[in-house]
Structure 1
């Protein structure tokens, strides 16, 4: 923890700057940022001492500043654009009331200029900025603070900012305070001798513990001033590490723990090691699996590896080393299981570290480079170079191949279901791991921005992500006739699909009341009511997806939802595709939200000045949309539910000897073209090698004829053919897999349907392609993925309704039921419940 923050004023002595850098961050005025030379490891805050443009502020962060300290006016422009954890707000006492919640939530800390050190005011101010680091700079800075003042500020939740003109490495006076004295202000010891337990760790080995020693005020002061390891021996007094043995230490940082009763010295150890037994650590040597141990081994072999050894060959033959790095990188990319990935990553790290050691680059050098990159705010696009953008096959590892021949056959992987182990079968049932926690962290700032700023945030985010400059985000009926002008053929197709989907979903609606007399005089009932306000997310932008609008809008219309808001990303000119507009007209949408992504989900969940808040959100989308839906449904302030969890689209096809190879291949490809993460599985029931080859040949030929062949190549290469010995075995595997779409290319396929327990939607027989269900047969195409078909239904009319129960008990009914209720209430100790019955029974 930081005890105080030094503020560079005038030309500070270099030895003082070096000492200050060892105990925490240093505040550097922006006008001096390029003139001050701090140690490479130093943490630097930049204080904007004049007006700087946002690009200039960004440049300070890109150049390695840990944080920038911004006046209120400039903070308003930076918040929401620069990361909150890199911003500190600079204000004076009179400006506190001007700090909005947006500003308070958009920074990681605040530096307040105060006339004097008023601890009550500082404590109150710290509570106002709860969760942020509070720093205090007194206006009167001609005299140094006392140690008790520093302690008092820390107790009040604040850190003192000390100009370097008040700091010295010499003894404290009435004009200066010694750096070590200031640093030691809060420290305490529960030991009789007053010494401070001190953990010594290796800066060069990722913080590995070297040993436990003790420090005193004198030894700490010497270490801060000299940058050398100086401790307090309980027997011999001041102990300057390595003074006689040569195993000296360079002190990189000194940190105080959270309880202010122990220290950590991060050091670079020289010589034989830290321990008096000539070992690197008092806790024993590094485990042989450590990267740092590997680094030491390679450094040793660089100078001593015998001629003809493999490591010597790698050092002496750069072309061999380059080839091995490329080969191992390729094999890591192709690895599938957790064990394979770990194995290939270990190989790649070995050869990569060999390359580094050969060039004199250490792990510490790599860490410093990573730290510098992590501090950058401006990011490159991150696109791969052209020679690496061709998708690679995920079959067994092969020698590195930079560019794939476009005529290479497109193949699935094959497995014998009867021959796989339990673990291998479990792998076949798994989907790719979806890193929802990472996505939730990414979408939360977007969702919070819309929740707090409403329409203003929506307009900014739509301009940023959809490249559409809008003045309003909501369209309401009646929609302009020109917005729904369509090609007559498309309009007719939509009309037929609408009629079929409406007919099927209307049949699902519950119109009447279910009533049951559970005992004489006791009638229980259940009746359906529509969910009043629903939000329908329809992916869009460059895509045109009227089918999704139909699948969501029609059941909402049939269910009788009073408010139906369709959210869809606008095109760059700000318009919505006429196909989606026409469907919105058909289903009676009450509003169209021209926004996509997490920002649209947030607007539906919380409502804005123009967007109505909804009670339930439906619809597919990318990972941003899915993560935002999961986030808002768990926020009690939103009070919104969602249709179901979502993942990449998937199909499982079961085929036997009666199948048409062309039909099977087409069904597999229709799913594979959705994206590289699409899940495609063929379960082959007793198919011969020739029958399987016919399907694979069709799949390859049809795939090469598709415009999205590159996407298909990657998704198919990760897809599986599972060979089953019977229909029962195939169906059992399918039920365990729980596919979104299940297609049955089987003899007497309709007789197999009763065996299906888990699936989103089933397509029965050779003339029932998934495409029909996706568009116009009548069933809904918004279906559970990722195995959730075990627990969830696809979207249907009942998804837009809720059920309410009622009960009506007559006097005679209460005579029979009342004693039962009273007895159970007494059993549970709820006397008021029992009394509610008994008071009525007495009245009877």
Structure 2
């Protein structure tokens, strides 16, 4: 609430208006618009004399940035309920105050009352009648008000309106009052020295706490410079000797009239005597970024990335659009915050390049907030079309290729010392990104239901929508055309070697003979394996060709003896499947290939369509849409389908001691970090010095920069961890708690550490066992539990494609011994028929 309100009445100049802008709003009749180019808050006074004023005019003034409008009571019916109450003040003559209805009182934020006298009793009753509204008093025909009047009214919770003809920048006289004298009139202090505590801020951030006197406040108002009162040295003109001056934009009084706030622009080294921007420490967040970018604009060397951004508008435009898309695609809280930070960085770079500050942005936001007229808010057609072409909010977005690097800064992971970590910190280190399964399942359900209900028709439509491919049929049956399997000879040979190794390892897992145990004489129990008849194998597509996944899923299915192997994978733009995947499908004996991806492929496998065979179990990795669809169908009793395991982002945990090769360790970390921005990468060090850790970090940075997916790594690695431990036992214990998908051991005695491993998808032992070998061709399976599920799940193996059936054979002699035990237990449970089934047999043996 202002100390007083000036009313422009024709007798003012720009200097006076500039000084008034520092202490609050100004009441402006329309005839004085437009004002000089001075940033001053405006209350527009529309009295009966306002020519042509109507509701549209009022809205126009507010849309153009006026804080409030003041209208006669006679106009109340037209505006109350349409104009927001906080923007509306009613103009009253003292004689018609009783004519104000309850609806009007509830629809306004203030009352401007014209009165010939300042009767205290009347003003008090008036205030009670308009409880909750701000009261502004304009004394008609009055001479210059004394400071005591301003003080008494303001302390009573009302504000005096003073015509500009009664204000001056000169000394107060009987004709005019100095605006600074009017401002300080109601100030109070509980200090013996009479000073007012003063908070100094810049762009909303506190710079420090100082003190003000009436004299210093007056000088600041009149000069627009930061002037305060030193408790030791008297009047303190900020920067008079240091050069670190201040420009004052606004001075506000707190609600108790005993403290002040100065809004300033600091010039020079800073506000604090320690040459820092603030007495409360260094600037953080957006304002710190702004200062950094402003300094880079002036000082960034030629050839640096920041200089490129400032000098190349097309690059900056591309980065802003790229980051906006990534923010739109983000799902988890962590992802949204991470992508929003990137977008803000590039957007602020654009602003700084054009001389726009955060304060300018805030003023624009404030101005927009003042608008009464609102646009519908729909997106422009080109963006609506683009969004519909790529994805909708209820369907999966298409994969996006990696973009160029965004920064020249070093690529670093976050480091923690386990010996000093609190239990809360340790727990936090073990956490993965929150997977909002319920939200994703709700998004995929309409897709799954559509395929379930409409079969091939829905599948073809969804493939056209999401994969952007028009197909006549989504299924390929063998024999596959030879030309569809043509691959380079070197690739074919590599696939053949990998196939042989994977087949050998998984064949060894196959049970050769049934398990047979005689639990007591005459009682033989058995267990034997049978293949799951029909399995669906999901092989992701998108930016990568993944014949390795087709191998890892197809070979154990083939070895297990599954009768039907349906392989599902997204088609290429021309509607075909990559020849590498086709070749693997041929090797593993696939009975059908479904050319579809995402939730629609999972639904087709789960329920079957006119052409897609229904399966009994679905395997394979995929994005969150695929995972959510798998979780949905496995819980539908109508589908009667199971899945291999829940899936999350790819993971690696590397344990390294002083014998490690930093280049090897870095390469292992990067091989996982390139999968996606949400990849989980952890390095656990064993008694490594800071220099040894730095050597690994330097290798990570150098190798990443030379790799094609460096942009993905720039985002995944800063979210990744280095955890320092003091022993192999402590390191493996942390790994067991983390339960990684891939565990790599760079240790002096790596084989000796394997017995300590309790939870991991797959272990890579020693410096010459990179994860890549297991991913492609060593023989083990690379479809592994993620997100900590290695505590409960195994990786895909031959037995994943089998179920086990038990049998028992009891002889007559065996029943004589076992039968009484069964009868006793059945009777104990009250299941007479169970007991009878034994008794009736025992009766024939007696």
TM-score interval for Structure 1 and Structure 2 normalised by the shorter chain: 0.5 to 0.7
Show CA shifts across 1:784-822 (max 9, x none).
Answer: 001110000000000000011111111222221122112
Which residue matches 1:504?
505
Deviation at 1:484, TM superposition (A): 1.0
Indicate conservation of the 8 Å contact 1:651/1:742, yes or no. yes
Residues 358/378 of structure 1: CA separation in 2 closer, same or farther (3 Å cut): closer
Deviation at 1:412, TM superposition (A): 1.0
Residues 1:558 and 2:566 aligned together: no
Which residue matches 1:113?
none
Show CA shifts across 1:751-808 (max 9, x none).
Answer: 0000000000000000000000000000000000011100000000000000111111
Deviation at 1:511, TM superposition (A): 2.8
Which residue matches 2:466?
465
Indicate conservation of the 8 Å contact 1:484/1:581, yes or no. yes
Q: Distance in 1 between matches of 2:401 and 2:489?
A: 40
Deviation at 1:508, TM superposition (A): 0.4
Residues 713/377 of structure 1: CA separation in 2 closer, same or farther (3 Å cut): closer
Q: Distance in 1 between matches of 2:836 and 2:380?
A: 66
* Within-5 A mapping of 1:536-555: 536-555=537-556
Which residue matches 2:28?
none
Residues 559/439 of structure 1: CA separation in 2 closer, same or farther (3 Å cut): same
Residues 815/419 of structure 1: CA separation in 2 closer, same or farther (3 Å cut): same
* Within-5 A mapping of 1:347-746: 355=363, 358-359=366-367, 361=369, 378=384, 381=387, 406-746=407-747
Show CA shifts across 1:341-373 (max 9, x none).
Answer: 89x99xx9x9999657732616x979x879878
Q: Distance in 1 between matches of 2:630 and 2:712?
A: 27
Show CA shifts across 1:280-313 (max 9, x none).
Answer: 9xxxxxxxxxxxxxxxx99xxx998349966845
Secondary structure of 1:752's counterpart equals helix
Which residue matches 1:811?
812
Secondary structure of 1:609's counterpart equals coil
Deviation at 1:711, TM superposition (A): 0.7
TM-score norm. by structure 2 comes to 0.58
Deviation at 1:722, TM superposition (A): 0.6
Q: Distance in 1 between matches of 2:409 and 2:402?
A: 12
Which residue matches 1:305?
252
Indicate conservation of the 8 Å contact 1:541/1:568, yes or no. no
Please identify the structure whose Cα radius of gyration is greater: 2
Q: Distance in 1 between matches of 2:360 and 2:442?
A: 31
Deviation at 1:689, TM superposition (A): 1.6
Indicate conservation of the 8 Å contact 1:633/1:641, yes or no. yes
* Within-5 A mapping of 1:189-268: 246-248=101-103
Which residue matches 1:826?
827
Indicate conservation of the 8 Å contact 1:443/1:627, yes or no. yes
Q: Distance in 1 between matches of 2:623 and 2:824?
A: 54
Q: Distance in 2 between matches of 1:470 and 1:523?
A: 56
Secondary structure of 2:806's counterpart equals strand
Deviation at 1:248, TM superposition (A): 2.2
Show CA shifts across 1:630-665 (max 9, x none).
Answer: 111111111110000001001000000100011001
Indicate conservation of the 8 Å contact 2:250/2:263, yes or no. no
Q: Distance in 2 between matches of 1:404 and 1:248?
A: 60
Residues 245/311 of structure 1: CA separation in 2 closer, same or farther (3 Å cut): farther
Runs of 5+ unmatched residues, structure 1: 1-38, 40-225, 229-241, 251-266, 281-296, 315-319, 384-388, 393-402
Q: Distance in 1 between matches of 2:780 and 2:372?
A: 59
Which residue matches 2:788?
787
Show CA shifts across 1:668-695 (max 9, x none).
Answer: 1111111111111101110112211111
Indicate conservation of the 8 Å contact 1:511/1:528, yes or no. no
Runs of 5+ unmatched residues, structure 2: 1-55, 57-80, 84-96, 112-127, 134-203, 206-248, 266-276, 278-282, 293-326, 345-357, 391-399
Residues 750/820 of structure 1: CA separation in 2 closer, same or farther (3 Å cut): same
Q: Distance in 1 between matches of 2:481 and 2:619?
A: 26
Q: Distance in 2 between matches of 1:620 and 1:754?
A: 29
Residues 423/341 of structure 1: CA separation in 2 closer, same or farther (3 Å cut): farther
Q: Distance in 2 between matches of 1:247 and 1:270?
A: 13
Residues 464/268 of structure 1: CA separation in 2 closer, same or farther (3 Å cut): farther
Indicate conservation of the 8 Å contact 1:248/1:270, yes or no. no
Q: Distance in 2 between matches of 1:797 and 1:423?
A: 40
Secondary structure of 2:723's counterpart equals strand
Residues 246/627 of structure 1: CA separation in 2 closer, same or farther (3 Å cut): same
Which residue matches 1:149?
none
Deviation at 1:378, TM superposition (A): 4.3
Deviation at 1:404, TM superposition (A): 8.1
Which residue matches 2:838?
837
Deviation at 1:406, TM superposition (A): 3.8
Residues 311/443 of structure 1: CA separation in 2 closer, same or farther (3 Å cut): farther
Secondary structure of 2:369's counterpart equals coil
